[in-house]
Structure 1
Amino acid sequence: MGEGEYIKRISNIQIAMKVSWLSIIINTLLSVYKLLAGILSNSSAMVSDAVHTISDVLSSIIVIIGIKMSYKEADSKHPYGHERFESVAAIILSVILFFIGVSIGFSGIKKIILNKNEVLTVPGTQALVAALVSIIIKEIMYWYTRIAAKKVNSDALMADAWHHRSDALSSIGSFIGIMGAKIGFLFMDPLASVVICLLITVSAISIFIDAIGKMIDKSCDRSIIEEMKNTILQEEGVICVDLIRARMFGNRIYVDVEIRAKGDDTLLSTHELAHRVHDVIEKNYENVKHCMVHVNPEI
């Protein structure tokens, strides 16, 4: 690993850790506030929302572990590195999100079915205020974490960003449900829990599918492959590209290329050509971890 890449790796870890620890602190304070507001206001929607926020604390801890593991250097047991640990962290997050969503939805449906006055009560104003505060804070955290995730190219951090967005959406659902209950539609408070359930589970499934794709060597976007092909063809000595394949390895890319060169070129010149192609791909596409180049002779 070059000095520049090492410095960038350390910088990325520091950014990811800063964002994750900030998430833990804010989510801890926010979840306690929302839980108290939900209990004092007799709002099942706000209590469900608080539980969702508590899960964000756990998710941020998982993100920290996943990122630290993914940035470990390659070793004898993992010669290709540890990048897939980020995808593992994203999968764990998605599973946690899914079960939290299902449990929240089950609780809401149970209260709607019972539909008795002693079960359904008018929530207090504290719950409305807590919902508004949560919407603002969680939307800010979504954009802050999303920007950081794109900067360091982190799947786990991006999953955590969507966790913030799902929490903001669930708070919107809580606000609507609580407001509806306060004007006389008591069923709307637990109904908001069901809406929150749907938002959370959809987010969980999306994160899971994306992480699984990166765990099973899914091909990267065709547009990126075409860009790489055009970049290779610009190198002097390359007659054509016979084959180019690119697969995802966690959040990094492995590229296999077969180029065609003059058949009467010396071994040294074809080796230098392959090396130039290798270097130009790894230089122009920072997500590429390794590029393997094979040269076919033109007959």
Structure 2
Amino acid sequence: MHNIDYPRYRQAKHITLIGAAVNLLLSIVKILFGWLGHSTALIADGIHSFSDLVTDFLVLYASKAGSHGPDADHPYGHERIETFATVALAAFLIMVGLGILVDSIREIMSSQYGKMPSIFVIVVAAASVVVNELLFYYTLRTAKRIESGLLRANAWHRRSDSFSSIVVLIGVIGTLLGVHFMDSLAAMIVALMIVKMGGQMAWQSIRELIDTGIDEQQKQKIIALITATPGVKAVHQMRSRTMGGKYFIDVHLQVDPRISVSEGHYIGDKAYLQLRQAFLNIKDITIHIDPEDDEETKPNINLPNREQIMTDLNKHCQNLPGWKNLLTTRLDYLAGKIYIQLVMPLSLLSKDLSGEEVQSQYCTVLANIETIAKISIVFQV
């Protein structure tokens, strides 16, 4: 069963449906008046608006699919659907732009221009500028509010519609003033704008699909915040990626090697909460707690495990005082050596057996084991 972020999807759906209705109307009006008004540029702009209608439905589908929460098959969620849809949208725009560009170049090279554009073309192009600017601001505001990269791309697509209509205006006015190739030149410029916009959208989304990390400035801010967390000695092996405009962070925190596992976990939780509060676009953080910096080498990887160590200790220490009364054994793996702490009952000590004597006996017996750096005895009530 998928969990859907309904408030986010509803907002995306609302603005997208408004945009779709406007694009349908604009595409019909532009193509009709471009044909009636003898303007290749306005017809190209109308085709551009019709392509927007297609992309609006693509945005709508991707927004719904991308709003599904994590499930068994997609533990990181479905935001990549938005990213993939953005690549598809970008490819579609590039193809449309190239088609318009080829037709405009062919018209200019043949020097076969149509009839003079009518004044209605200017009115339609001007109205298109105003409508698309309003849609741009409304869509961009919604995209920022719900943090949708796909909706933000669609907002800038609206802005490109405004620019293309401005170019049409200039081209038609130029043609009416006697520069006959201006309408075709305007269509070429609109086509290049469409191709450029599609290329930028594709590049950003492809970077996300191949797990490009966050920018260096954001990375340093995150590291600084983690380092400021009480108990964190250093940060290393930080990795990041983006998905649907959200950050996913993996990071290793170095803490005091002598603290307990639970305290190290507590420090990690504190760092996690501070990051989530400071960076609202961070969706998930995986924190690994390290007792030392093991980024370059793993000095402890070949040391014996607890079972092996306890077997060796039992072999050497079974006849020593306190061994059969041993309460706990703590092992610290640091810098390629093992530090051992044995906890024994305080009742073991007497006038004839001091703590120093017990410590000395264990140190003497274990002195020849190279992997052991230090052994200490603690007596507990």
- TM-score surpassing 0.5? yes
Among 222, 237, 242, which residue is 2:231 paired with? 237
The structure with the largest helix share of the pair is: 1
Partner of 2:66: 70
| CA–CA separation in structure 2 for the residues paired with 1:191 and 1:226 | 47
Map residues 38-77 of structure 1 onto 2, 5 A cutoff. 38-77=34-73
| CA–CA separation in structure 2 for the residues paired with 1:28 and 1:249 | 31
1:209 and 2:203 equivalent?
A: yes
| CA–CA separation in structure 2 for the residues paired with 1:87 and 1:252 | 11
Partner of 2:214: 220
| CA–CA separation in structure 2 for the residues paired with 1:78 and 1:243 | 25
Residue 189 of structure 1: CA displacement? 0.9
Residue 52 of structure 1: CA displacement? 0.3
Partner of 2:110: 114
Residue 10 of structure 1: CA displacement? 2.8
| CA–CA separation in structure 2 for the residues paired with 1:127 and 1:253 | 46
8 A contact 2:148–2:244 mirrored in 1: no
TM-score with structure 2 length normalisation? Answer: 0.74
Partner of 1:184: 178
Structure 2 residue ranges without an equivalent (≥5):
293-333, 335-381
Partner of 2:99: 103
TM-score with structure 1 length normalisation? Answer: 0.93
| CA–CA separation in structure 2 for the residues paired with 1:250 and 1:30 | 30
- How many corresponding residue pairs? 291
For 1:79, what is the secondary structure of its paired residue?
A: coil
| CA–CA separation in structure 2 for the residues paired with 1:280 and 1:247 | 19
For 1:190, what is the secondary structure of its paired residue?
A: helix
Structure index of larger Rg: 2
Q: Report the AA paired with residue 150 of structure 1.
A: K
1:259 and 2:253 equivalent?
A: yes
Partner of 1:91: 87
| CA–CA separation in structure 2 for the residues paired with 1:225 and 1:115 | 55
Partner of 2:120: 126
| CA–CA separation in structure 1 for the residues paired with 2:228 and 2:189 | 53
For 1:262, what is the secondary structure of its paired residue?
A: coil
* C-alpha distance after superposition, 1:26-70 (max 9, x if no partner): 111111111121111011111111000011111110001111111
| CA–CA separation in structure 1 for the residues paired with 2:83 and 2:182 | 37
Counting aligned pairs with the same residue, the percent is 29
Q: Please give the root-mean-square deviation of Cα atoms over the aligned residues, in Å.
A: 1.5
| CA–CA separation in structure 2 for the residues paired with 1:275 and 1:183 | 70
Structure number with higher relative contact order (C-alpha < 8 Å, ≥ 6 residues apart): 1
1:288 and 2:282 equivalent?
A: yes
| CA–CA separation in structure 1 for the residues paired with 2:254 and 2:200 | 40
8 A contact 2:98–2:191 mirrored in 1: yes
Among 267, 271, 275, which residue is 1:277 paired with? 271
* C-alpha distance after superposition, 1:114-136 (max 9, x if no partner): 213xx422000110101100111
